[in-house]
Amino acid sequence: MARSPSLHVAVIGAGIVGAAAAHFLAAAGARVTLLDASGPAAGATGASDGAVSVASKKPGPMMDLARHARAFYGSCEADGLLRGLFHRRSTFLVARTRLEAELVAEHGADLAAAGERVLDVDRPTLLNRIPGLGDGVCFALEIPDDGHALGYEITQRLLQRSAVTVRRNAPVSEIVMRAGQAVGVTIRDELLPADAVLVAAGIGSVGLLGLGDILIPRKGQMVVTDRAAAGRPAIDGHLMAASYLAAKRGIVRDNAHIGLVIDPLVTGQFLIGGSREDHRADQATDAATISAILRDALDLYPPLRQRRVLRTFAGVRTASRDGLPIVGPHPHLGGVTIATGFEGDGICLGPFMGASAARMILGEAPGVDLSMLAPQRFSRAEALA
Amino acid sequence: MTDLAKTDLAKTDLAKTDLAMTELPVLVVGGGPAGVAAAVALAEAGLRVLLIEQRDRLGGAIHRQPAVGAPQIWRGPARHRRNWAELASRLEHVAERIELRTSTVFLGIDGAGRFLFDDRMAGRVFARPVRAAIVAVGAVEKIAPFEGWELPGVMSAGGAQVLLKETGRPPEGPIVVAGSGPLLLAVAAQLARAGNPPLAVLERGRPWHKPKALARLMTAGAPLAEAASYAAVLALKRVPCHVGSEVLGVSETGQGLTIRVRAGSAESLLQARHLLIHDGLEPNRAGIPLPAPGAEVPVLLAGDGREILGADAAILDGQRAASAVLSRLGHAASAAPLEAALSKARNFQLALAEALRSKATPPTPQTMLCRCEGRRYADFAALPADASAREIRLMGRFGLGACQGRFCGPMLAELRGEALPTANPPRWPLRPVSVAALANFSTDETES
Choose the closest CB to B427 out of A38, A42, A311: A311
Nearest to residue B34, comparing CAs of B177, B123, B137, B176? B137
- Are B157 and B149 a contacting pair, CB within 8 Å? no
Verify that A334 and A315 share a domain, yes or no: no
Last residue of one domain, picked from the residues B258, B279, B300: B279
Q: Pairing between strand B274-279 and B175-180?
A: parallel
pLDDT tens, position by position, B44-71: 999 999 999 999 988 888 877 777 777 7
Report the domain count for chain A. Answer: 2
Q: Which of A282, A284, A291 sits opposite B438 (nearest CB)?
A: A291
Domain-embedded: residue B392: yes
Instruction: Determine which of B116, B394, B430, B441 to mutate to test the interface with A (most A C-beta atoms within 10 Å).
Output: B394
Helices B182-193/B222-236 angle, 10° precision: 50
Which chain B residues contact residue A303 at CB under 8 A?
none
Which CATH number fits the domain that encloses residue A316?
Answer: 3.30.9.10
Whether chain A has a CB inside 8 Å of the CB on B434: the answer is yes
Residues of chain A with C-beta less than 8 angstroms from the C-beta of B438: 287, 290-291, 294, 309
Number of domains composing chain B: 3
**Phi, psi (rounded to 5 degrees) for B134:** -120, 120
**Are the beta carbons of A285 and A273 closer than 8 angstroms?**
no
Using CA atoms, how far apart are residues A11 and A21, in angstroms rounded to an integer?
8
Do A156 and A304 fall within a single domain?
Answer: no
Do A357 and A233 sit in the same domain of this protein?
no
Name every chain B residue with its beta carbon within 8 A of the beta carbon of A228.
Answer: none
A275, A305, A320: which is the final residue of a domain?
A320
Instruction: State the CATH number of the domain containing residue B211.
Output: 3.50.50.60
Establish if B405 belongs to a structural domain: yes
Chain A contact for B215, CB < 8 A?
Answer: no
Looking at the fold, whether B85 and B67 belong to one and the same domain comes out as: yes
Count Cβ atoms within 10 A of the Cβ of residue A16 and give its class: 0-12 exposed, 13-18 middle, 19 or more buried: buried
CA–CA separation, B219 and B216 (whole Å): 6
Q: Is A117 on the interface with B (CB under 8 A)?
A: no
Asked if A28 and A171 sit in the same domain, the reply is yes
Say if A38 is an interface residue toward chain B (CB within 8 Å): yes
| Cβ neighbours around A42 below 10 Å, total | 24
How far is residue A59 CA from its own chain's centroid? 17
pLDDT digits (tens, 9 = 90+) for A249-286: 888 888 889 999 999 998 999 999 999 999 999 999 99
Please indicate whether, in this complex, the C-beta atoms of B428 and A41 are within 8 angstroms of each other.
Answer: no
In this structure, the number of other CB atoms found within 10 A of the CB of residue B161 comes to 21
Q: Which of B270, B300, B330 is the last residue of a domain?
A: B330
Taking each helix axis from N to C end, the angle separating B78-93 and B310-328, rounded to the nearest 10 degrees, works out to 30
Q: What is the 3-state secondary structure (H, E, C) of chain A?
A: CCCCCCCEEEEECCCHHHHHHHHHHHHCCCEEEEECCCCCCCCHHHCCCCEECCCCCCCCHHHHHHHHHHHHHHHHHHCCCCCCCCEECCEEEEECCHHHHHHHHHHHHHHHHCCCCCEECCHHHHHHHCCCCCCCCCEEEEECCCEECCHHHHHHHHHHCCCCEEECCCCEEEEEEECCEEEEEEECCEEEECCEEEECCHHHHHHHHCCCCCEEEEEEEEEEECCCCCCCCCCCCEEEEHHHHHHHCCCCCCCCCEEEEEEECCCCCEEEEEECEECCCCCCCCHHHHHHHHHHHHHHCHHHHHCEEEEEEEEEEEEECCCCCEEEECCCCECEEEEECCECCHHHHHHHHHHHHHHHHCCCCCCCCCHHHCCHHHHCCCCCC
Within-domain flag for B263: yes
Q: Which amino acid is at B296?
A: E
Distance from CA of B170 to the nearest CA of A (A): 31
Q: What is the pLDDT of residue A380?
A: 62
Last residue of a domain, one of A292, A320, A348: A320
CB burial class (10 A; 0-12, 13-18, 19+) of residue A24? buried
* pLDDT tens digits, A90-131: 999 999 999 999 999 999 999 999 999 999 999 999 999 999
**Last-in-domain residue among A320, A349, A368:** A320
Residue (of A288, A270, A222, A228) closest to B440 by Cα position = A288
CA distance A217 to A364: 31
How far is Cα A47 from Cα A314, in angstroms, rounded to an integer? 6
| A309 vs B: CB within 8 A | yes
Count Cβ atoms below 10 Å from residue A112 Cβ, excluding itself: 13
Is B112 in contact with A288 (Cβ distance < 8 A)? yes
Cα–Cα dist A337/A32, whole Å: 14
Contact of A171 with chain B, judged by CB distance below 8 Å, is answered with no
Same domain for B151 and B94, yes or no, is no
Q: Is residue A385 part of a domain?
A: no
Answer whether A295 sits within 8 Å of B439, measured CB to CB. Answer: yes
Query: Which positions in chain A touch B424 (Cβ < 8 Å)?
Result: 283
What residue type is A347 in one-letter code?
Answer: I
Q: Is residue B341 part of a domain?
A: no
- The confidence score (pLDDT) of residue B24 equals 95
If one counts every other C-beta atom within 10 angstroms of the C-beta of residue A195, the result is 19
Please give the pLDDT value at position B446. 47
Contact A291 B434 (CB under 8 A): no
Are B115 and B164 within one domain? no
Within a domain: residue A70?
no
**A54 φ, ψ to 5°?**
-85, -30
B316 in the same domain as B199: no
- Whether residues A294 and A307 share a domain: the answer is yes
Q: How many CB pairs under 8 A join A and B?
A: 111
Same domain, A249 and A368: no
Beta carbons of B439 and A298 less than 8 Å apart: yes
Q: Is B100 left (phi over 0), alpha (psi -120 to 50) or beta?
A: beta
Q: How, if at all, do strands A91-95 and A139-143 pair? A: antiparallel
User: What is the separation, in whole angstroms, between the first and last Cα of chain A?
Assistant: 23
Q: A168 vs B388: CB contact, 8 Å cut-off? A: yes
Q: Name every residue whose Cβ is closer than 8 Å to that of residue B101 and which is 6 or more positions away in sequence.
A: B50, B51, B52, B53, B117, B119
Question: B103 and B226, same structural domain?
Answer: no
CA angle A63, A64, A67 (to 5 degrees): 90
The verdict on A244 and A166 lying in the same domain is no
Q: What are phi and psi of B261, to 5 degrees?
A: -120, 140
A286/B112 CB distance under 8 A: yes
Residue A81 within any structural domain of the chain: no
User: Angle CA(B70)–CA(B72)–CA(B73) in degrees, nearest 5?
Assistant: 120
My answer on whether B260 and B308 are in the same domain is: no
Asked if B269 and B399 sit in the same domain, the reply is: no
- For residues B318 and B339, give the distance between their C-alpha atoms in angstroms, rounded to a whole number: 12
Domain end point (choices B247, B279, B311): B279
Query: Half-sphere exposure (CA, 13 Å, Cβ side) for B201?
Result: 30
CATH of the domain at A371: 3.50.50.60
In a domain, A68, yes or no: no
B251 belongs to a structural domain: yes
Q: Is residue A82 part of a domain?
A: no
A241/A46: higher pLDDT:
A241
Q: Cis link prior to B425 (omega < 30° from 0)? A: yes
Chain A positions touching B402 (Cβ under 8 A) are 226, 308, 310
Q: How buried is B210 (Cβ within 10 angstroms: 0-12 exposed, 13-18 middle, 19+ buried)?
A: middle
The answer on B101 and B72 residing in a single domain is: yes
The CA distance from A60 to B413, in Å, is 50
Residue A339 and residue A313 share a domain: no
Return the pLDDT at B411.
Answer: 83
Distance from CA of A34 to the nearest CA of B (A): 15
- Residue B263 shares a structural domain with residue B155: yes
Residues A114 and A228 in one domain: yes
pLDDT score of B233: 93
Is A298's Cβ below 8 Å from some Cβ in B?
Answer: yes
Residue B372 inside a domain? The answer is: yes
Say how far residue A162 (Cα) sits from the centre of its chain: 22
Is there a domain that residue B425 lies in?
no
B-chain CB neighbours of A304 within 8 Å are 435
- The pLDDT, as a whole number, for residue B260 is 97
A244 and A304 share one domain: yes
* Same domain? B13 vs B116: yes
Burial B82-120 (b: 16+ CB within 10 A, else e): ebbeebeebbeebeebbebbbebbbbbbbbeebbbbbbb
* Residue A252 and residue A267 share a domain: yes
ipTM exceeding 0.95?
Answer: no
Strand partners, B282: B140
Distance from CA of A315 to the nearest CA of B (A): 12
User: What domain range is A346 assigned to?
Assistant: 8-45+152-211+322-379
Question: Between residues B223 and A198, which one has the greater pLDDT?
Answer: A198
The answer to whether position A60 is within a domain reads: no
Which residues of A are less than 8 Å from B110 in CB distance? 284-287, 290
SS3 letters for chain B? Answer: CHHHHHHHHHHHHHHHHHHHHHHCCEEEECCCHHHHHHHHHHHHCCCCEEEECCCCCCCCCCCCCCCCCCCCCCCCCHHHHHHHHHHHHHHHHCHHHEEEECCEEEEEECCCCCEEEEECCCCEEEECCCCEEEECCCEEECCCCCECCCCCCEEEHHHHHHHHHHHCCCCCCCEEEEEECHHHHHHHHHHHHCCCCCCEEEECCCHHHCHHHHHHHCCCCHHHHHHHHHHHHHHHCCCCEEECEEEEEEEEECCEEEEEEEECCEEEEEEECEEEEEECEEECCCCCCCCCCCCCCCEEECHHHCCCCHHHHHHHHHHHHHHHHHHHCCCCCCCCCHHHHHHHHHHHHHHHHHHHCCCCCCCCCCCEEECCCCEEHHHHHCCCCCCCHHHHHHCCCCCCCCCCCCCHHHHHHHHHCCCCCCCCCCCCCCCCEEHHHHHCCCHHHCCC
Q: Is B17 on the interface with A (CB under 8 A)?
A: no
With a cut of 70, list the residues of chain B below it in pLDDT. Answer: 1-22, 73-74, 335-336, 421-423, 444-448
**B375: closest CA of chain A, how far (Å):** 14
Q: Are residues B122 and B62 in the same domain?
A: yes
| Same structural domain, B273 and B157 | yes
In a domain, B362, yes or no: no
Rg (CA), chain B: 24
Residue A76 resides in a domain: no
d(CA B253, CA B174): 14
Query: Domain of B103?
Result: 2-140+283-330
Residues composing chain A = 385
pLDDT at B87 (0 to 100): 94
Tens digits of residue pLDDT in A329-371: 999 999 999 999 999 999 999 999 999 999 999 999 998 999 9
Whether residue A250 is contained in a domain is answered as yes
Say if residue A284 is in the same domain as residue A233. Answer: yes
Residue B327 at interface with chain A, using a CB cutoff of 8 Å: no
Model pLDDT for residues A214-240, shown as the tens digit of each residue:
999 999 999 999 999 988 999 999 999
